[in-house]
């Protein structure tokens, strides 16, 4: 028996969430006495594929097929299903990223498997197979019991640590077969988001909301983010009115993130916003209203005017950086 991990890459480079998924799969493999095979679709170098051994993969199945150059959920799901069957995989793991979400349900249907969508922890038991995930917009936790023979797990990014060890994976070329229906839809164009650091990968996120009054005031947010090596994010209304691009919107209807540090500037902390950021390890809230609900979720709170506090923070970060 093996565990199959879909090792997502962007332009030939693995994402941090891929290493998390393989580390996670490796721990389940220990619990179930099985091995880990990673499935790579796209032009990733042999060295990078072998390096997945450092995270616990014994073997990599490499699919290089021009028809799969851009993300196609149906065809990717078919490739993952065929790889899972070839490896007799009983557990299939995907990072629950945008791509992973578009594929995980299809894979589960094809394999007649139960799906744990957005797992946030290792299985607490493998018999019955029980995995914890968040529910009610992050307000609650639920233990999902899957009784099907095969299990598909969508692992929430940033919810499991990356573990490394010595080792290199063997690489095997793999060419699954596709039918016309696997290509019922195709992507015409893929555009990279403008931010320098991908929001879902970021260790630090600087985010702002309606308290900033207008798009012309985002300069200080971007400057603080750049100094900290952070990605920028925003609340929903800010994206809705076009102050910021939609791909920065975090929350229940936006992206879910779990960085080490989340700095929220001029955001009230509505439950729908918290749903997307409550997994952050440390939350710093800057808000002029001491009654703002976000302070209840904050690790550190600064009650003050963002237009005074943020420039001071920027100065302090600059001083700290120049001292080192
Ligand atoms: P506001 O609520 O207007 O808050 C602005 C904050 O800025 C206030 O707390 C104010 O005290 C503070 N402020 C004002 N001036 C200053 C200053 N000078 N310095 C410092 N602080 C200042 N929202 C999301 O963000 N993400 C979602 O995914 C999302 N999904 C939703 C889904 C549904 C179905 C619904 C109904 C709502 C959803 N919302 C979502 C909207 C959510 O309910 C809130 O309306 C929204 O998060 C508020 O955005 P905000 O905090 O930027 O603005």
Q: Per-residue DSSP letters for 22-82?
A: HHHHHHHHHHHT-EEEEEEES---HHHHHGGGGGT-SEEEEE--GGGSS--HHHHHHHHHH
Q: Is the CB of 308 under 6 A from ligand 1?
A: no
Can you say whether residue 33 is alpha, beta or left, with left for phi > 0 and alpha for psi between -120 and 50 degrees? Answer: left
Least confident of 29-38, 57-66, 77-86, 154-163: 154-163
Whether residue 98 is predicted with pLDDT greater than 90 in this model: the reply is no
Instruction: Judge contact between 93 and 6, C-beta under 8 A.
Output: yes
Instruction: Judge contact between 229 and 204, C-beta under 8 A.
Output: yes
pLDDT digits (tens, 9 = 90+) for 54-94: 999 999 999 999 999 888 999 999 999 999 999 999 999 99
Q: Is the CB of 157 under 6 A from ligand 1?
A: no
Instruction: Judge contact between 135 and 129, C-beta under 8 A.
Output: no
Altogether, the residues listed in the chain come to a count of 324
Helix extents (H) in the chain: 16-32, 46-50, 73-86, 98-110, 219-228, 236-240, 271-277, 294-297, 306-323
Q: Quick one: pLDDT band at residue 195, thresholds 50, 70, 90?
A: low
Distance 294 CA to ligand 1 centre (A): 10
Least confident of 28-32, 42-46, 95-99, 231-235: 95-99
Tell me which residue of 300, 309, 303, 308 sits closest to 289, measured CA to CA: 303
Give the model's pLDDT for residue 158.
82
Distance 235 CA to ligand 1 centre (A): 6
CA angle 36, 71, 13 (to 5 degrees): 55
Whether residue 9 is predicted with pLDDT greater than 70 in this model: the reply is yes
pLDDT digits (tens, 9 = 90+) for 222-240: 999 999 999 999 999 999 9
Whole-prediction pTM:
0.80
Distance 265 CA to ligand 1 centre (A): 10
Least confident of 95-99, 130-134, 173-177: 95-99
Instruction: Judge contact between 163 and 23, C-beta under 8 A.
Output: yes
- Three-state SS for 314? helix
Q: Is the CB of 266 under 6 A from ligand 1?
A: yes
Q: Is the CB of 306 under 6 A from ligand 1?
A: yes
pLDDT digits (tens, 9 = 90+) for 267-314: 999 999 999 998 899 999 999 999 999 999 999 999 999 999 999 999
Distance 236 CA to ligand 1 centre (A): 7
**43: phi then psi, degrees, rounded to nearest 5:** -90, 80
- Mean pLDDT of all residues in the chain? 94
């Amino acid at each position: 028996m093996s565990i199959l991990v879909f090792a997502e890459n962007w332009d030939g480079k693995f994402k941090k969430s891929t290493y998390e998924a393989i580390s996670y799969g490796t721990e389940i493999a220990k619990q179930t006495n099985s091995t880990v095979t990673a499935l790579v679709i796209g032009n990733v170098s042999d060295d990078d594929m072998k390096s997945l051994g450092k995270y616990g993969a014994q073997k990599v199945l490499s699919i290089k097929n021009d028809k799969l150059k851009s993300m196609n959920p149906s065809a990717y799901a078919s490739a993952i299903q065929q790889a899972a069957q070839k490896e007799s995989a009983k557990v299939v793991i995907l990072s629950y990223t945008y791509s992973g979400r578009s594929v995980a349900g299809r894979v589960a249907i094809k394999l007649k498997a139960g799906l744990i969508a957005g797992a946030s922890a290792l299985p607490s038991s493998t018999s019955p197979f029980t995995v914890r995930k968040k529910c009610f917009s992050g307000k609650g936790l639920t233990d999902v019991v899957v009784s099907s023979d095969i299990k598909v797990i969508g692992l929430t990014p940033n919810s499991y640590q990356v573990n490394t060890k010595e080792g290199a994976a063997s690489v095997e070329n793999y060419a699954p077969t596709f039918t016309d229906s696997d290509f019922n839809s195709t992507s015409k164009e893929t555009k990279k988001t403008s931010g320098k650091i991908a929001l879902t990968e970021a260790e630090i996120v600087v985010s702002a909301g309606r308290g900033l009054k207008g798009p012309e005031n985002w300069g200080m947010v971007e400057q603080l983010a750049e100094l900290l090596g952070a990605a920028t994010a925003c609340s929903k209304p800010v994206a809705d009115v076009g102050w910021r691009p939609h791909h920065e919107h975090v929350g229940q209807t936006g992206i879910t993130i779990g960085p080490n540090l989340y700095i929220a500037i001029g955001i009230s902390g509505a439950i729908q916003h918290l749903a997307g950021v409550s997994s952050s390890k440390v939350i710093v809230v800057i808000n002029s209203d001491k009654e703002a609900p976000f302070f209840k979720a904050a690790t550190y709170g600064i009650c003050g005017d963002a237009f005074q506090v943020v420039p001071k923070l920027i100065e302090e970060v600059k001083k700290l950086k120049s001292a080192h």
